[in-house]
Amino acid sequence: MTSKAAPAGLPPVTGAWRPGDPRGRRQWLPVDRSLRLDAGGVLPAYTFAYETWGRLNSDASNAVLIEHALTGDSHAAGEAGPGHPTPGWWDGLIGPGRALDTSELFVVVPNILGGCQGTTGPASPDPDGKPWGSRFPQVTVRDQVHAEAELADALGIERWALVVGGSMGGMRALEWAVTLPARVESLLVVAAPAAASAEQIAWASPQLHAIRSDPGWRGGDYYDAAPGDGPHRGLGIARRIAHVTYRSEPELGRRFGRRRQSAADERFAIESYLDHHADKLVRRFDANSYLLLTESMNTHDVGRDRSGVGEALSRITARTVVAGVDSDRLYPLYQSNDLAAGIPGAGDAVVISSPYGHDSFLIETLQIAALVKSLLG
């Protein structure tokens, strides 16, 4: 099951972390009990990969849960290196003296259930040791939160001082506060809705089709293919589509305009930029996980089986801040306004002002830090 390095120039069959790869800062929690799933069926024993910073205090009152977005992972802080292909995605927030001050707080970042960076997902071995592939069951955001509660229990954390996330991470943070309100003291939801909208599902649709139309996808069972023969083309197209929605039109216009990449490269500069991000993703992510997690986002709805969104949000007891980005075209600001209006005591949504679009939740760390401090102060 160890992943094999692809020959120079060839993308790997999967960018998933697999047993035998460098572990980096990851810790693991095997969960021996099965997880009953929203859509029916059961996921047998599974494993969580997670990272921590700081130390849990004697009464376990200083724990913070950070939820990563679609193609994120547990490596929220620290340098790139063996086992971690990218630097920490919220490095500016985590550490001594930072907003999430690890001299006082115990910060926990799990890789999402169904992901591909150490937690059980489609690229992981099933109970018989074969990659799950097409047989991995569909999971919802609610399932992912129930699984994360097992991690909290194992770490001895009854109540989080703060649960925070942006984008898909914001969906899970919100679901924590609705599903397990007594376990969340404060909540920060950034650039995430109460339920996925028709347009968000529409943006996802061509991404899903791109992967499933790739001959290298092989119905989801491609892990024994040779390097270069996996579904990297479809995954790359999906990333190109998604990345356009992550940035704002004015920013792309200012950065790239209509210029060509170079005299020797006739691509438009914006095409080169999208190609670059596609190539990066296929070397660190798994196509099946991209499908699974995108569909989890599509089915996100805190009001499902709870008499609607309003009734669900009324369950939240956490001190809450909701924030949206004024240039976000994927999760528009109105969704954050609607979400904040439905949560008791949340007040108005905070506006993160930025030209960078949806990705501002990763970029505007000073503005995010101020919101974190307001909840922990």
Residues 124 and 82 grouped into a single domain: yes
- CA atoms 17, 330, 139, 141: torsion sign: positive
In a domain, residue 17? The reply is no
Residues 134 and 223 grouped into a single domain: no
Residues 281 and 351 grouped into a single domain: no
Residue 146, both tokens = 């129930």
Residues 122 and 44 grouped into a single domain: yes
In a domain, residue 206? The reply is yes
**The residue type at 211:** I
Residues 49 and 154 grouped into a single domain: yes
Residue 289, both tokens = 């996980």
Residues 36 and 110 grouped into a single domain: yes
Residue 207 CB partners (closer than 8 Å, separation 6+): 237, 238, 241, 242, 290, 294
Residue after which a domain boundary falls, among 296, 327, 346: 296
How does pLDDT run across 36-78, given as a tens digit for each residue? 999 898 999 999 999 999 999 999 999 999 999 999 999 999 9
Are 134 and 219 in contact by the 8 Å Cβ rule? The answer is yes
Is 360 known to be catalytic? no
Residue 273: left if φ>0, alpha if ψ -120 to 50, beta else—which one? alpha
Tell me how far CA of residue 125 lies from CA of 139, 202, 219, in angstroms: 17, 32, 17
Residues 85 and 188 grouped into a single domain: yes
* From 296, 358, 359, 360, active-site residue: 358
CATH of the domain at 260: 1.10.1740.110
Is 221 known to be catalytic? no
Residue after which a domain boundary falls, among 296, 329, 362: 296
In a domain, residue 5? The reply is no
Whole-number Å distance between alpha carbons of 86 and 91 = 11
Domain coverage including residue 168: 27-197+300-376
Residue after which a domain boundary falls, among 296, 315, 334: 296
Number of Cβ within 10 Å of residue 360's Cβ equals 28
* From 74, 167, 354, 360, active-site residue: 167
In a domain, residue 15? The reply is no
CATH of the domain at 147: 3.40.50.1820
User: What is the arithmetic mean of pLDDT over 148-174?
Assistant: 98
DSSP 8-state class, residue 10: P
* From 73, 328, 336, 359, active-site residue: 328
Residues 44 and 56 grouped into a single domain: yes
pLDDT for residue 7 = 54
290 pLDDT more than 50:
yes
Q: How confident is the model at residue 135 (pLDDT cuts 50, 70, 90)?
A: very high
pLDDT for residue 377 = 83
In a domain, residue 20? The reply is no
Residues 291 and 309 grouped into a single domain: no
User: Structurally, how many domains does the chain consist of?
Assistant: 2
pLDDT for residue 108 = 99
Residues 127 and 189 grouped into a single domain: yes
Is 146 known to be catalytic? no
pLDDT for residue 125 = 96
**The residue type at 171:** M
Residues 106 and 43 grouped into a single domain: yes
In a domain, residue 324? The reply is yes
In a domain, residue 2? The reply is no
In a domain, residue 120? The reply is yes
Decide which of 6 and 66 is more confident: 66
Residues 141 and 53 grouped into a single domain: yes
Number of Cβ within 10 Å of residue 145's Cβ equals 22
User: What is the arithmetic mean of pLDDT over 173-202?
Assistant: 98
Residue 47, both tokens = 């494993």
